[in-house]
Amino acid sequence: MRLNRYLKYQYYRMIRLKDAPSKVAQGVGLGLAMDFAVPIPLVSIFVAFVVARILKINSLAAVMSATALKPFFPFIVMINIYVQLVIVSAFPVINRIIMPHSSGVSFLERIVNSILSRGVPYLMAGIIDGLVVFIISYLAVYYLLRVRLEKLKRKKVK
């Protein structure tokens, strides 16, 4: 019951935003995509805001949607890991995208190499997931807002 109430609250916040449906839908899509593409929990909110400002889309919608998915962050990580495994099994060469190893590297450089060797496929999976989520959420929110706008126009005419 709580999840239903939370989702309904986020829905009402989104439909009450004052902007063109396309800009609100782009903001929502961007915020949701940033949750997948930027794997650091609170940084994605800031990145969504900055990117929305640069692209001149609804930054409030981007921040709201990036914040709305925070309770589901563990599931997002699981989805990204699954897609990462699929990508690595389909294209094993991606696993070799790391900084070149040399025999005389320091301990810190070996740690960075280890993180990068695991991180590149994960970031690619996040970008792929983010693009899919952006497209789906953009289309869904855009058509939802257009239908709502048409209903409001018909109501005002009567």
Given this model, what pLDDT does residue 34 score? 92
Cα(76)–Cα(111) distance, integer angstroms: 25
pLDDT greater at residue 125 or residue 158: 125
Taking alpha carbons only, the member of 109, 88, 87, 89 closest to residue 99 is 109
| pLDDT at 1 exceeding the cut of 70 | no
Given this model, what pLDDT does residue 97 score? 62
8-state DSSP, 139? H
Given this model, what pLDDT does residue 134 score? 96
Cα(147)–Cα(154) distance, integer angstroms: 11
Given this model, what pLDDT does residue 111 score? 54
| pLDDT at 25 exceeding the cut of 60 | yes
pLDDT one-digit tens code per residue, 50-107: 999 999 998 888 998 888 888 888 888 889 888 888 888 888 777 666 545 555 567 6
Phi-psi bin for 56: left (phi > 0), alpha (psi -120 to 50), beta? left
pLDDT greater at residue 80 or residue 133: 133
Instruction: Considering only CA atoms, give the Rg of the chain.
Output: 19
| pLDDT at 140 exceeding the cut of 90 | yes
pTM of the model: 0.76
Given this model, what pLDDT does residue 42 score? 79
Burial of 93 (0-12, 13-18, 19+ CB in 10 A): exposed
In contact, 30 and 48? CB cutoff 8 Å? yes
H helix intervals, the chain:
2-15, 21-37, 43-55, 59-68, 73-90, 107-157
Residue 19 corresponds to which tokens in the numbers above? Answer: 């902007």
Given this model, what pLDDT does residue 99 score? 46
Confidence band (pLDDT; 50, 70, 90) for 114?
A: low
